Amino acid sequence: MRTHLKRAWTACAAGLLASGLALSAAAAQTAPSEIKIGTLYASSGPFAVASEGQYHGLQYWAAGVNKSGGVFVKAFNKKIPVKIVAYDDQSSTATATTLYNQLITQDHVDILMADFGSVLTSVAIPLAAEHHMLLIDPTGSGANFFTKKTNYLADVSIPSSTVWPLPLAHFILAQKIKRVAIVYGSNDFDASQAETLKATLEKGGVKPVYYHGVPTTESNYTVLLHTIAAHNPEAVIELGYAPNDIAFLHALAGSGLHFNMTFTIFPGQLLALMEKNVGAKTLAYTYTYPTPPLVAYPKTTLGPNTAAFVKEFTAAEKAAPNFLDAAGFNTGLIMQQMLATAPKFTQLDFHQALMDMSGKTTTLLGEFKINSHGAQMGELPPVAQLVPAGKGVTPVVVYPQDKATGKAIYPAPKK
Amino acid sequence: MRKPPAWRGPGLVLVALAAIFAVAPRLYSNESVLFTMMTFMALAQGLNLLYGFTGYLPFGYVGFFGTGAYATSLLVTFTSLPVIAAVLLGGLAAVVVGLILGPLFRLSGPYFSIANLAASQIIYNVVANEALKPITGGPYGIKIEHVYAPTASYVTMLAILLAATALAAYFRRSRFGLGLRAMHQDPISASLAGVDIVRERLIAWLASAAIAGLAGGAYAWNLSVFYPEAVFTLQISVFAIVFALFGGVGTVIGPLLGAALLYAFYAGIGVSAPQYFELLYGLLIVLLVLFLPNGLASLLTRRNVDVL
């Protein structure tokens, strides 16, 4: 009897061992030889500069992980190299549609990542959902995208346009500024911010004295500035793309007008470009949202902190990174952590892994926090003032208090 | 020897088109490429109805396309109409815009083309105007994701392509089309011969607008999340014109061949060698202008082959 039992146990153990070996062999067989990340970039057209920056950041991340043998994929319990499959959409939505489909249906990529910005991301959203693929959205922040619960969209490297200006609104209220003028580009990115800013200010008892949308192509703000001045505002907030900001600041410098506070978006993202185009004197004492690397996050739970990233990137690429390089790199980091924690190699598990990371992860761009609609609610940029430093200007974070590196010089001195 | 019936050639083209695009998704799973190819074939054919038969070149043809896209999207958003009905009404909306723009025919040649271009930009700016945000979504775009149906929109676009081709065949073979061509050659003589120039030209213009509007509607259905620039970009007009010219306007198969070949080339280069895209595409167009100014169809007509 004992011998029979012993034999039975031995058989069971052998069976378990065999099935365990078989399972691990199956797992090893199904592990891909490379993780294919499909994305688009624009080498020409209106989104080229920004898109290439984001793509460059992603390439830098991929080169880094491949140097160390690839990304760790929990589902296969091993490191697997990353391969980026990328096509050029030339900033065209029609071309982007076919190329996103190409990535999904022909290249069978494992992870789908959108191109830069809301316009080129928009066409990928229904396609990704139709094919049950999670769309990793680095910089498409359109308010329209995040209107319902989804498992197939995650905005990872830029806050949703609807929450972006919250620190700015709170700063204006804290400074007790009562007369605010807001001029914004009539596009999703700027107008969503303008709406949030207006609503938050009004909630704090400040009704903007001027609130006006201009075409995205606006290039002459001279008349507009005099109209704004007639409303006697203390603060003038201009929300536009880089060309709008350049035109606005040029017009302000040439108009002889002075406001206690002037705010534009892009000096905080592309400071070198703005300095070159409008000059340090014009930028002096204006405010902006400083994005990494202009604002540093010293403590991270995932990847290098901002300073280390800048150092490593500059050494490897022989050029200092801008925000879009950081956004592309950050997207890579988030995908890396997603693969390292998703228990199964499925799109739904990828999405769940991101949700599990939400609120518990800090990267070089700040706190990663997405909601069930896929919108990024973290990574909020603080408010900074550009103060003269040598021949240029340097950002000094003035709000919120816990991130502040200096005090706002308010009202801004006359130049 | 008995002459073949007049409908045989067009019938064969329609059957071939339907068969190719019905089978193609089984052979090539990137349906977006096939869908966009059909869109440009329909647009090139729609443009051919006007330019190929009357000589009026509408630079702002995209205005009708965008009108159809937005009319369809708004009907889907604000009514409970089936999407197919919304697409048909999108075509009707383009016809209404065509009627409003009818007085542009007081102009001719480049003046007509430029005025048409300006009209399309006015429509774009109205649709994208922020004041219309509650209706059109303004610059924030429009979303009809809840009716997204790639297969149904694919079949609809195929039907629109077949309708455009049938119309072109009618223009090519009918007395009506003969009148249009006579008018194109010499409007005064045609008028003296009894051709009602204003009426016939307007019919061709509205038929062309309807095709663009229908195509815009089906395109919007297929995209389902888009910004105004996506359906009003001048690139759409430029492609439709280049594709139609490449194949040969005034024929039925010319615009179809031109759009299919050039779009396939465009998509192929875009995937395999994007860095050479502008160079190769530009070179091809220069060669076309130098050696085949009347399009691919002229290779056959030069040899006295009767091209449909």
Please state at what angle helix B8-27 crosses helix B253-272, rounded to 10 degrees: 20
Is the four-CA dihedral A284, A285, A291, A297 of positive or negative sign? positive
Calpha distance A271→A277 (Å, rounded): 10
Give the pair of three-digit tokens for residue A89.
């959409």
- Give the whole-number percent of chain B exceeding pLDDT 90: 68
Give Cβ neighbours of residue A30 (< 8 Å, ≥ 6 apart). Answer: A76, A345
Residue B153 lies in a domain: yes
Strands A392-399 and A383-389: antiparallel
Contact between A192 and B230 using a beta-carbon 8 Å cutoff: no
The pLDDT of residue B38 is above 80: yes
CA distance A222 to chain B (A): 22
User: What does the pLDDT read at residue A13?
Assistant: 52
Burial level of A296, CB count in 10 A (0-12/13-18/19+)?
A: middle
Chain A residues lying within 8 Å of B271, measured CB to CB: 87, 99, 102
* CATH assignment of the domain containing A137: 3.40.50.2300
Closest CA to A100 of A175, A22, A152: A152
Contact between B30 and A106 using a beta-carbon 8 Å cutoff: yes
Predicted confidence band of residue B304 (pLDDT cuts 50, 70, 90): confident
Residue B62 lies in a domain: yes
Q: Which of A169-183, A189-203, A213-227 has the highest mean pLDDT?
A: A169-183
Q: Does B235 touch chain A (CB under 8 A)?
A: yes
Contact between B36 and A123 using a beta-carbon 8 Å cutoff: no
Question: Is A234 in contact with A177 (CB distance < 8 Å)?
Answer: yes
Give the pair of three-digit tokens for residue B169.
């065949």
Q: Does B151 touch chain A (CB under 8 A)?
A: no
Q: Does B137 touch chain A (CB under 8 A)?
A: yes
A83 and A54 part of one domain: yes
A192 and A279 part of one domain: yes
Residue A27 lies in a domain: no
Q: Does B96 touch chain A (CB under 8 A)?
A: no
Give Cβ neighbours of residue B187 (< 8 Å, ≥ 6 apart). Answer: B197
Q: How many CB atoms lie within 10 A of CB A277?
A: 18
Is the pLDDT higher at B191 or at B161? B161
User: What does the pLDDT read at residue A4?
Assistant: 53
Contact between B33 and A98 using a beta-carbon 8 Å cutoff: yes
A387 and A272 part of one domain: yes
Calpha distance A68→A55 (Å, rounded): 20
User: What does the pLDDT read at residue A409?
Assistant: 96
Calpha distance B91→B68 (Å, rounded): 6
User: What does the pLDDT read at residue A7?
Assistant: 54
Please state at what angle helix A188-203 crosses helix A166-174, rounded to 10 degrees: 40
Residue B5 lies in a domain: no
Mean pLDDT across chain A: 90
Which residue type is seen at A51?
S
User: What does the pLDDT read at residue B3?
Assistant: 67
Predicted confidence band of residue A118 (pLDDT cuts 50, 70, 90): confident
Is the pLDDT higher at B50 or at B307? B50
The pLDDT of residue A9 is above 70: no
Mean pLDDT across chain B: 91
A279 and A325 part of one domain: no
Residue A28 lies in a domain: no
Domain interval for residue B49: 17-233
Residue B247 lies in a domain: no
Residue B73 lies in a domain: yes
Is the four-CA dihedral A144, A214, B90, B181 of positive or negative sign? negative
User: What does the pLDDT read at residue A293?
Assistant: 85
Strands B225-226 and B142-143: antiparallel
User: What does the pLDDT read at residue A42?
Assistant: 92
| Main-chain dihedrals φ then ψ at residue A213, nearest 5 degrees | -95, 140
Q: Does B275 touch chain A (CB under 8 A)?
A: yes
User: What does the pLDDT read at residue B266?
Assistant: 86
Mutate which of B73, B121, B122, B227 to disrupt the A interface (most A C-beta within 10 Å)? B227
Residue B261 lies in a domain: no
Give Cβ neighbours of residue A126 (< 8 Å, ≥ 6 apart). Answer: B145, B148, B223, B224, B225
Q: HSE (CB half, 13 Å, CA atoms) of B173?
A: 17
Closest CA to A297 of A330, A262, A324: A330
Residue A122 lies in a domain: yes
Domains in chain A, number: 2
Calpha distance A281→A268 (Å, rounded): 16
Residue A7 lies in a domain: no
Coil, strand or helix: which one is A151?
A: coil
- Give the whole-number percent of chain A exceeding pLDDT 90: 73
The pLDDT of residue A268 is above 50: yes
The pLDDT of residue A196 is above 80: yes
Chain A residues lying within 8 Å of B267, measured CB to CB: 98
Residue A14 lies in a domain: no
Question: Is B182 in contact with B197 (CB distance < 8 Å)?
Answer: no
Give the pair of three-digit tokens for residue B277.
């895209």
Chain B residues lying within 8 Å of A140, measured CB to CB: none
Residue B170 lies in a domain: yes
* b (16+ CB within 10 A) / e for B217-236: bbbbbbbbbbbbbbbbbbbb
User: What does the pLDDT read at residue A162?
Assistant: 83
A175 and A275 part of one domain: yes
**Longest Cα separation, chain B:** 67
Q: Which tens digit of pLDDT belongs to each residue from B50-91?
A: 999 999 999 999 999 999 999 999 999 999 999 999 999 999
- Which residue in chain A is spatially nearest to B37 when comparing CA positions? A98
Q: How many CB atoms lie within 10 A of CB A167?
A: 18
A227 and A185 part of one domain: yes
CB nearest A119 (choices: B148, B227, B235): B227
Residue A308 lies in a domain: yes
Is the four-CA dihedral A75, A78, A79, A82 of positive or negative sign? negative
A210 and A347 part of one domain: no
- Give the whole-number percent of chain A exceeding pLDDT 70: 93
User: What does the pLDDT read at residue B267?
Assistant: 86
Residue B10 lies in a domain: no
Mutate which of B140, B234, B239 to disrupt the A interface (most A C-beta within 10 Å)? B140
Chain B residues lying within 8 Å of A87, measured CB to CB: 270-271, 274
Closest CA to B204 of B185, B178, B233: B178
The pLDDT of residue A214 is above 80: yes
A interface toward B at CB cutoff 8 Å?
43-44, 87-88, 90, 92-95, 97-102, 105-106, 118-119, 122-123, 125-127, 129-130, 142-145, 147, 186-188, 191-192, 213, 216
- Which residue in chain A is spatially nearest to B219 when comparing CA positions? A94
CA distance A151 to chain B (A): 15
CA distance B238 to chain A (A): 13
User: What does the pLDDT read at residue A352?
Assistant: 97
User: What does the pLDDT read at residue B274?
Assistant: 65
User: What does the pLDDT read at residue A29?
Assistant: 52
A96 and A192 part of one domain: no
- Which residue in chain A is spatially nearest to B223 when comparing CA positions? A123
Residue bearing tokens 């952590």: A337
Domains in chain B, number: 1
Q: Which tens digit of pLDDT belongs to each residue from B168-196?
A: 999 998 999 999 999 998 989 999 988 89
Chain A residues lying within 8 Å of B229, measured CB to CB: 93, 119
Contact between B235 and A87 using a beta-carbon 8 Å cutoff: no
User: What does the pLDDT read at residue A18?
Assistant: 47
Calpha distance A351→A343 (Å, rounded): 11
- Which residue in chain A is spatially nearest to B28 when comparing CA positions? A106
Residue A212 β-bridge partners = A183
CB nearest B32 (choices: A97, A122, A187): A97
Calpha distance B308→B294 (Å, rounded): 15
Residue A93 lies in a domain: yes
Is the four-CA dihedral A145, A148, A151, A154 of positive or negative sign? positive
CB nearest A144 (choices: B36, B141, B278): B141
Domain interval for residue A110: 35-161+296-368
Tally C-beta pairs within 8 A across A and B: 105
Contact between A142 and B141 using a beta-carbon 8 Å cutoff: yes
Mean pLDDT of A300-325: 93
- Which residue in chain A is spatially nearest to B230 when comparing CA positions? A93
Burial level of A81, CB count in 10 A (0-12/13-18/19+)?
A: middle
Residue A345 lies in a domain: yes
Dihedral Cα B99, B235, A104, B260, nearest 10 deg: 80
Which residue type is seen at A350?
F
Q: Which of A286-295, A352-361, B4-13, B296-305 has the highest mean pLDDT?
A: A352-361
A152 and A257 part of one domain: no
Predicted confidence band of residue B299 (pLDDT cuts 50, 70, 90): confident
